[in-house]
Amino acid sequence: MGVITASGGTFRVTGGNPIGGRIRPAGNKNEALPLLAAALLTEEPVTLQNVPDIEDVAIMQEIVQGLGAQIKSRDDQLEIQCSQVPANQLDPRLTARIRGSVTLAGPLLARTGRIFLPRPGGDRIGRRRMDTHILALQALGASVEVLPHGFELRARQLMGADILLDEASVTATENVVCAATLARGTTIIRHAASEPHVQGLCHMLRAMGARIEGIGSNTLTVEGVDRLHGAIHRIGPDYLESGSFLCLAAVTGGELTIENAGRDALRMIRLQLRRLGVVAEDRGEDDLFVPGRQELRIADDLGGAVPTLDDSPWPGFPADMTSVALVTATQSAGTVIIHEKMFESRLFFVDRLISMGARIVLCDPHRAVVIGKSPLYGSTVSSPDIRAGMAMLIATLCAEGESEIHNVSQIDRGFSRIDERLRSLGAKIERFP
């Protein structure tokens, strides 16, 4: 763990081959990053299992080690221990590379009473507010100074509060719940995010001795404790990866079994993909079976109206699946509106799909009309962010001819050794420096 042996460069893809066989999703990236941050809340060792071997996790490990934590790795397991009070200065060169670095604010503020948080980086998909984080931590008693390159947060003693988040932000919820575990008194977090990775963080905190009620709901109640202890926690499967594999098999006509898919977290994804004609069957305890040669057809709304597939907070359709859903829609007969509400730059990658033959009208930064089915043809494209990168990879695998995808380090940030894993399913994909 922590060393990505095959990352970056260019993928050369020959499309038109059905993707089939068996595959297992990696651990949830969006759960792993805040768990690494939360491990700093105690001086005792915290063990994480099923950790994905991806670049974002490697960078987060480096940040945490720079704060004084010791990390031991073995296979897909990490043991993190920060026996001394951690440093409170983050390396801005590293935090600029991943958005998940923002989740260090709550744990460090709770344990050290001070943190300078450089402005976080991550995918360039539009403005990503910090206001919710700052307002919520101020409600717990933190003083905040906004500086050109980041935020200086201080608190001698965090105090419980009744907090209404101004948006159901995942990372803000994670920051506040971590900070509240060591605050004095009771904290109520209303309009909290409840995604599976938020639930995973809360379950680990409870295993560390935190008192948290309402996990899985939009209201979390946290009773502060004096200290937390070590714990062992297993990260859940990455349901976004499972959803991506589901779409990949459907658009290439392959027969695929997704093992340990995390079906509970896939209910809304499967419901919305069914509107595009994508079908998957439950198998065993937690597997999904994607039948081969599906006839993909978009289902009109009642009365023949053009349907809209849009994202919303959990348990709605995840924003991180909209790019993959859009590519899937290009291979489904009919017309659909893809409405990405959260980020004003996420849909800008559609110009690459249009160059491959897709019929798409980009109405504005948030909405695109997709008219399918459109035969796609090989092209030279680039990966702008993690999710659009995976979407472009799916597009090239169902396109006719050869394609090149540049800047694949963006895909490596979220998908572990995706080229090797897809080759085992029959994909013709090579990596070049």
Complete DSSP assignment for 264-317: GGGHHHHHHHHTTT---EEETTTEEEE-SS---BPPPPGGGPPPEEE--STTS-
Per-residue model confidence (pLDDT) at position 346: 82
123 is annotated as an active-site residue:
yes
Q: Which helix (H) or strand (E) holds 407?
A: none
Per-residue model confidence (pLDDT) at position 130: 87
Per-residue model confidence (pLDDT) at position 7: 58
The tokens for 27 are 């651990």
Calculate the average pLDDT of the chain: 93
- Give the residue carrying structure tokens 């996990």: 215
In the chain, the domains with their CATH numbers are 10-26+237-432 (3.65.10.10), 29-234 (3.65.10.10)
Q: Which helix (H) or strand (E) holds 46?
A: strand 46-49
Q: Is the pLDDT of residue 8 over 80?
A: no
Which of 4-18, 309-323, 336-350 has the weakest average pLDDT?
A: 4-18
Which of 4-13, 80-89, 236-245, 290-299 has the weakest average pLDDT?
A: 4-13
Of residues 124, 32, 141, the one with CA closest to residue 384: 124
Q: Is the pLDDT of residue 412 over 70?
A: yes
**DSSP codes of every residue in 86-149:** PP-B--HHHHTT-GGGGGGHHHHHHHHSEEEEEPP----SS----HHHHHHHHHTT-EEEEETT
Q: pLDDT above 70 covers what percent of the chain?
A: 97
Q: Which helix (H) or strand (E) holds 194?
A: none
Per-residue model confidence (pLDDT) at position 4: 37
Per-residue model confidence (pLDDT) at position 128: 56
Q: Which residue has the higher pLDDT, 355 or 100?
A: 355
Integer Cα distance of 62 and 77 in angstroms: 16
Q: Is the pLDDT of residue 10 over 60?
A: yes
Axis crossing angle, helix 322-330 with helix 386-398, rounded to the nearest 10: 20
Per-residue model confidence (pLDDT) at position 198: 98
Give pLDDT tens digits for 280-302: 999 999 999 999 999 999 999 99
Catalytic residue, chosen from 53, 75, 91, 123, is 123
Integer Cα distance of 19 and 294 in angstroms: 13
| Radius of gyration of the chain measured on its C-alpha atoms | 22
Q: Is the pLDDT of residue 366 over 70?
A: yes
Is residue 236 within 8 Å of residue 2, measured between CB atoms?
Answer: no
pLDDT band at residue 256, thresholds of 50, 70 and 90? very high
Is residue 210 within 8 Å of residue 225, measured between CB atoms?
Answer: yes
Distance of CA 233 to the CA centre of its chain: 19
Is residue 9 within 8 Å of residue 382, measured between CB atoms?
Answer: no
Give pLDDT tens digits for 42-98: 999 999 999 999 999 999 999 999 999 999 999 999 999 999 988 888 888 898 888
Rounded to 5°, the CA angle 367-385-335 comes to 30
Is residue 105 within 8 Å of residue 153, measured between CB atoms?
Answer: yes
Q: pLDDT above 90 covers what percent of the chain?
A: 85
Per-residue model confidence (pLDDT) at position 121: 59
Integer Cα distance of 328 and 338 in angstroms: 11
Per-residue model confidence (pLDDT) at position 34: 97
- For CA atoms 94, 96, 99, 101, the dihedral sign is positive
Give pLDDT tens digits for 138-162: 999 999 998 888 889 999 999 999 9
Integer Cα distance of 123 and 96 in angstroms: 10
Average pLDDT, stretch 107-117?
A: 94
Per DSSP, the three-state class of 45 is coil
Per-residue model confidence (pLDDT) at position 2: 38
The tokens for 154 are 């201080």
Is residue 342 within 8 Å of residue 321, measured between CB atoms?
Answer: no
* Amino acid, res. 373: K
Q: How many CB atoms lie within 10 A of CB 46?
A: 26
Q: Is the pLDDT of residue 18 over 60?
A: yes
Per-residue model confidence (pLDDT) at position 344: 75
Integer Cα distance of 323 and 297 in angstroms: 18
Q: Is the pLDDT of residue 5 over 80?
A: no
Per-residue model confidence (pLDDT) at position 126: 40
Average pLDDT, stretch 17-46?
A: 97
User: pTM score, two decimals?
Assistant: 0.93
Per-residue model confidence (pLDDT) at position 92: 87
Q: Is the pLDDT of residue 123 over 70?
A: no
Per-residue model confidence (pLDDT) at position 384: 85
Is residue 247 within 8 Å of residue 327, measured between CB atoms?
Answer: yes
Average pLDDT, stretch 215-234?
A: 98
Average pLDDT, stretch 124-132?
A: 64
Average pLDDT, stretch 350-374?
A: 95
Q: Is the pLDDT of residue 259 over 60?
A: yes
pLDDT band at residue 357, thresholds of 50, 70 and 90? very high
Backbone angles phi, psi at 332, to 5 degrees: -110, 135
